[in-house]
Structure 1
Amino acid sequence: MPSVSTAPAESRHPVLAVWLIIAGVVGEWAAFSLTSERLHLLANPGSTASCDFSVLIQCGKNLDSWQGSLFGFPNPLIGLICWTAPIVVGVAMLAGARFARWFWWLFALGITGAMAFVVWLISQSIFVLSTLCPWCMVTWSVTIPTFYAVWLHVLREGIVPVAPGVRRAANALVPWLPLLVILSFAVIALLAQLRLNVLATL
């Protein structure tokens, strides 16, 4: 268990805490939905997933691919397990807990791993499978802002030892986080449009 102690109210960062809870719940919802779809396809060979809307917008192709079971089991199972972490951390922060430095390092490392996995899945989806999985995109939509939010937090709080200028820059970037997220989504949308011509299928 991580070391915790009671924190002053001004140190709780409630916005980050609430976001972690929201992201965790949405991520769990997407993972559960994808897991349900995978079980449905296994139980009913030859059927289609309820999230298969077109050749471009679908879950089935992603779930049936080797990319959809990278570690030998369906990827959504990873989400079912790992999305509980942001929920627990967010609730604990709202309760006034302060985590040890090593815990934040591990949490940030885990979020970084999730971000790297999502970036890889995005590239596979757009450039290899040529599909956009609805529930996968829900996962992307919460992983990307969570990655930015957690890293800006650990940098501005000095949890990761960096120069004072980096801490000030991270603190200054916090209000711009929504724009950073929107720009990231725009890049994904642009890549999808250039590669898959999404607008022509709408």
Structure 2
Amino acid sequence: MTDSSVKPRAPERPIAFAITLIVAGVVGWYAAFALTLDKFIQLENPQAKLGCDFSLLVGCGTNLASEQGAVFGFPNPIIGLTCWVAPIVVGVALLAGARFPRWFWSLFWLGFVFAICLVGWLIAQSIYVLFSLCPWCMVTWAVTIPSFLAVTFHVLKIGALPVGAAGRRVGSVLAGWTPLITLVLYVLVALLAQLRLDVIGHL
């Protein structure tokens, strides 16, 4: 058998990565949908107690009614309703065997850069300005963080960013550490909230 008769091996589908995108997209979209419904209730009756309002410290009402809750002039949940569809579609396409060019992954990654920057700002606003922890917002934070990490490490690994062979190796190594890095960031956010708001003392 000659070398020309040997078919090149097709690249393996990133199944774990695809499932991560789908799960994050579904959870993030549902959180945005729940917040949108609560915003409708709040608009109809500003004094209404929302289902996610558990105490003065933990609840959605304060965040939804604040300027931070409509940072671009419209309710933030609309962003989630729109944008969380993208990782679901990409994840399903990957499971179906789709392959995307590098420019696509670069744009997809930039979308998550925007998401993590917005979430980081909203976390700071919730803890240090509004003094309120919105449950559905926290669900959004919880899925945005690992999604950003997973997408970042993936684009590094496949060379979608101009980082060279060293950058691809770093992406390959760090991809396996995504759960641990995510956990560390969760603990960091929880620690900041505890130090500022004394969450445990208000339980």
- Which TM class, normalised by the smaller chain length? over 0.9
Cα separation, 2, equivalents of 1:44 and 1:108: 39
1:192 shift after superposition = 0.2
RMSD: 1.0
Cα separation, 2, equivalents of 1:49 and 1:141: 21
Which structure: larger Rg?
Answer: 2
Cα separation, 1, equivalents of 2:202 and 2:27: 27
Residue 186 of structure 1 corresponds to which residue in structure 2? 187
List gaps (5 residues or longer) in structure 2. Answer: 1-8
- What is the DSSP-based 3-state SS (H/G/I as helix, E as strand, rest coil) of the residue aligned with 1:98? coil
- Give the number of equivalent residue pairs: 195
Conservation of the 8 A alpha-carbon contact between 1:9 and 1:96: no
Residue 108 of structure 1 corresponds to which residue in structure 2? 109
- What is the DSSP-based 3-state SS (H/G/I as helix, E as strand, rest coil) of the residue aligned with 2:177? helix
Conservation of the 8 A alpha-carbon contact between 2:18 and 2:91: yes
Cα separation, 2, equivalents of 1:143 and 1:107: 13
Residue 78 of structure 1 corresponds to which residue in structure 2? 79
List gaps (5 residues or longer) in structure 1. Answer: 1-7
Q: Aligned AA for 1:161? A: P
Matched, 1:46 2:34: no
Structure 1 ranges of 4+ moved more than 6 A: none
Cα separation, 2, equivalents of 1:51 and 1:58: 5
Residue 12 of structure 2 corresponds to which residue in structure 1? 11
- Report 1 or 2 for greater relative contact order, CA contacts < 8 Å, sequence distance ≥ 6: 1
**Equivalence map 1:127-166=2 (5 Å):** 127-166=128-167
Q: Deviations over 1:31-62 (max 9, x none)?
A: 00000000011112311211000010010000
Q: Deviations over 1:71-108 (max 9, x none)?
A: 11100001000000000000000010001111111100
Residue 3 of structure 1 corresponds to which residue in structure 2? none
